[in-house]
Amino acid sequence: MPGLWDRFSSSSSRPSSPEQPQQPPAWATAARGEGLGRCASLESSDCESLDSRHSSFGPEEETEYPDEASLPDLELLSDPEDEHLCSSLMQLLQETLSQARLGSKRPARLLMPAQLVAQVGKELLRLAYSEPCGLRGALLDVCVEQGKGCHSVEQLAVDPSLVPTFQLTLVLRLDSRLWPKIQGLFSAGPSSFAPGFSQSLSLSTGFRVIKKKLYSSEQLLIEEC
């Protein structure tokens, strides 16, 4: 899994927190393995339909927070380290999406509009504010909606040396105006694209973030933007 804490710490003079044991406990390893399969297993059109019965962390409920009042004002939660980490994370996310493959062997360069980059970064900071290690403790699963399901793109660990404390599933959406032209990207048949071909696709500014704490059995928190 790509990580960016080393990238950040090498350019920062801030002292880092003590290193955690290199071998995470079994529950953390299980959570990492569960993450990449989460979006791939969503077969319905509702990507929020996560079956908590298959979770090793006990029953959980899905709660929607339709207004921004449910989370504190970001200006009151400013943390220079988290802000730098978030900036690096967004760069890594854009690089990852630019090399994504949707469906079976179909290359696609997914582009994040500037507005989407800003909104996602803001939401990730909001969701990390109450965590003991802040954004460093995040495990980010990146998914893209494709028709009635979700395609898992990548799992990103902000700090691979740290046992993750919470898991974020970022569900992005393709611009709906492009759908008639791109349905072939998700088919399993032989590719009609020439070798080396990469199609650029713009993402919608709408997205969803699902937060799951890995150290408690609290209910899921779903942020839809």
Radius of gyration of the chain (CA): 18
Cα atoms in the 13 Å half-sphere on the side-chain side of 139: 24
CA distance 209 to 225: 8
pLDDT per residue as tens digits for the range 13-56:
444 444 444 454 444 444 445 554 545 444 333 333 333 333 33
**Spatial CB neighbours of 161, under 8 Å, sequence gap ≥ 6:** 3, 5, 19, 20, 22
Looking at residue 142, what is its pLDDT? 96
Which band of pLDDT confidence, cut at 50, 70 and 90, is reported for residue 201? Answer: confident
CA distance 31 to 166: 10
CA distance 179 to 196: 22
φ/ψ region of 46 (left if φ > 0, alpha if ψ in -120 to 50, else beta) reads beta
Higher pLDDT, 221 or 110: 110
CA distance 41 to 60: 18
> Residue 217 pLDDT > 80, yes or no?
no
- 84 three-class SS: helix
Q: Taking each helix axis from N to C terminus, what angle separates 114-128 and 80-98, rounded to the nearest 10 degrees?
A: 130
**CATH fold group of domain 45-178+199-224:** Ribosomal Protein L22; Chain A (3.90.470)
Which band of pLDDT confidence, cut at 50, 70 and 90, is reported for residue 85? Answer: very high
CA triplet 42, 111, 68: central angle to 5 degrees?
Answer: 65
N- to C-terminal Cα separation, the chain:
26
Q: Does the reported pTM lie above 0.85?
A: no
Around Cβ 8, how many Cβ atoms within 10 Å? 20
